[in-house]
A and B are shown apart, each in its own frame.
Chain A
């Protein structure tokens, strides 16, 4: 495995910057996600406006991959509809499972595209998908 393809500049930036790591005032949705085998533990907060995700943030602990993946996801979903967000979740998980390989479709994932190679590291897949599963859970009854 090529470390460069995983621990890329982008991941490092997201991991360290923490620009999405904070509490929202009066979030509409708060959803916890955890990964018992790793100890990764995040909480997503979402502010909705109709079916638009107006704002989003997260708190919690985890490895660089789960933290960066969460932060990247939040960058992506701010300002889009719930439906669009759920489609992104599908695309991301499809990418990790190697079920979606269409580059055009994957491009929509923007920064998160760098996590594509995580599928070669089975022990770390769970870290990458945690935030996305949590988001799906959060939006599932909306």
Chain B
């Protein structure tokens, strides 16, 4: 039993979908209307979302219910972040930005080393032994990593041995780009399948 609101909603969604698709024919008022509606509604969504999923649970509830009054300090830093709206006192927001950037850099340095460099280097330290396909694959991996790093090495001209290794490196990189290209095409097509399914299943039931 589809009640009235569900049917109305589907028709509204179908109208908005076709309005955006109309950009394929040419840029037109319908597309501009849908695009501006998208920007406006997502901004409205974010405003409500920020209150209910950020400010209320992390500030208002703890302060009112558990009397955690020291939370006024981060709340203060948060509010002066909004001084960017007023050019005269916008410089105040630099303190909060400095604090968040400081945390970000501290996490980035420790994360990059412990979370990326150590495991990725360790994954390439493979002793090659035993005549089987796995050893062959490991050899190709090691050559790939070393030659890719050589390609992005800028302190030596790409001549002689370094030049040849860099050439192998760009070959590996082009294979990787080809693979990413194929996967990206796959990803974009899936989005279209999703919209076509909506149009011809929920709206006009051609697909059952």
Do A and B bind? no
Residues of A within 8 A of B (CB): none
